[in-house]
Amino acid sequence: MARPQKEATLTAEQIERMASIGCTDEEIAVLAGLDDTTLQKSFSALLKKGRANLRDRLRTAQVRKA
């Protein structure tokens, strides 16, 4: 019998937002009340999307500064 899945204390939008401001998986997992492995398995698409957003904003800021 498998263990019951823990529910995250953060919403999907909050997890994506935290990834988009540069929080690590470990930091997000602690705040969400999840193990970092569980976070990565359950929210990998949101983490990737948030980090892509971060890279886009950083790249845009670099171009404007140049």
What distance, in Å, lies between the first and last C-alpha atoms of the chain?
57
User: What pTM did the predictor assign?
Assistant: 0.84
DSSP 8-state assignment for residue 13: H
> 26-48: per-residue pLDDT in tens?
999 999 999 999 999 999 999 99
Q: Give the pLDDT confidence score for residue 4 in this predicted structure.
A: 62
Q: Is the pLDDT of residue 2 over 80?
A: no
Cα–Cα distances (Å) from 45 to 1, 31, 66, in that order, read: 27, 18, 32
